[in-house]
A and B are shown apart, each in its own frame.
Chain A
Amino acid sequence: MKAAVLLSVILLSASAARAVELPDDQADRMKRWKDLSQQVFGDKKLENGAKFIAIDAPDRAMDAALVPVGVKISGKTGVKALYLLVDDNPVPLAAHFTFGPAADPKEMKIRIRLEQYTYIHAVVEGGDGKLYQAARFVKAAGGCSAPAGPQDEALKGLGQMKLQTMATYIPGKTMEVQLHIRHPNFNGMQMDQVTRYYTPARFINEAEVSYDGQQVFHFEGGISMSSDPAITFGFKPKEKGELTVVAQDSKETVFEHVFPIPQTEAVTQ
Chain B
Amino acid sequence: MKAVLVAAVLAASVPEPSGYWTGPNQGDTPDTVAGATVIHTALLAKLIRRERPVLIDVSPAPPPPPELPAGTVWMAPPHRDIPGSVWLQEAGKGDLPPEAEDFYRATLERLTHGSKAHAVVLYCHPKCWLSWNAAKRAVSFGYQQVYWYPDGIEGWQGAGKPVAAAEALQPG
Contact = CB atoms under 8 A, between A and B. Distances in A.
A201 B163 CA distance: 30
Given A25-B164, A32-B75, A39-B75, A142 B125 contact: yes
Nearest to B63: A189
B67 A91 contact: no
Contact of B77 (A39, A116, A147, A205): A116
A17 B154 CA distance: 26
A91 B63 CA distance: 13
Given A142-B125, A191-B63, A25 B73 contact: no
Interface string A235-251: 00000000000000010
Interface string A181-203: 00000011101010000101100
B69 A28 contact: no
CB-CB nearest 5 A-B residue pairs = A188-B66, A201-B66, A24-B162, A189-B63, A193-B24
Interface of B: 24, 26, 62-69, 72-78, 80, 125, 153-154, 157-158, 160, 162-165
B66 A39 contact: no
A187 B75 CA distance: 14
B156 to A, nearest CB: 11
A266 B78 CA distance: 42
Contacts of A189: 62-63, 66
A25 B63 contact: no
Nearest to A141: B154
Contacts of A24: 162-163
Given A36-B73, A198-B66, 11 more contacts: A25-B80, A25-B165, A28-B165, A90-B74, A90-B76, A91-B72, A91-B73, A115-B77, A147-B26, A191-B63, A198-B64
**For B64, B75, B76, which residue has the most chain A Cβ atoms within 10 angstroms?**
B75
Interface string A74-107: 0000000000000011111100000000000000
A141 B157 contact: yes
A145 B63 contact: yes
A47 interface: no
Contacts, number: 75
A152 to B, nearest CB: 19
A191 B76 CA distance: 18
Contacts of B24: 193
Given A25-B80, A117-B157, A200 B67 contact: yes
A189 B66 CA distance: 7
A229 interface: no
A175 interface: no
A170 interface: no
Contacts of A200: 66-67
Contacts of A139: 157-158
A222 interface: yes
Contacts of B67: 188, 200-201
Contacts of B66: 187-189, 198, 200-201, 223
Most buried by A among B153, B157, B162: B157
A222 B72 contact: yes
Contacts of B75: 32, 35-36, 39, 90-92
Nearest to A205: B69
Contacts of A187: 66
Contact of A90 (B77, B157, B163): B77
Contacts of A62: none
B77 A250 contact: no
B147 to A, nearest CB: 22
A254 interface: no
A40 interface: yes
A88 B77 contact: yes
Contacts of A141: 153-154, 157
Contact of A92 (B68, B73, B162): B73
Contacts of B74: 90-91
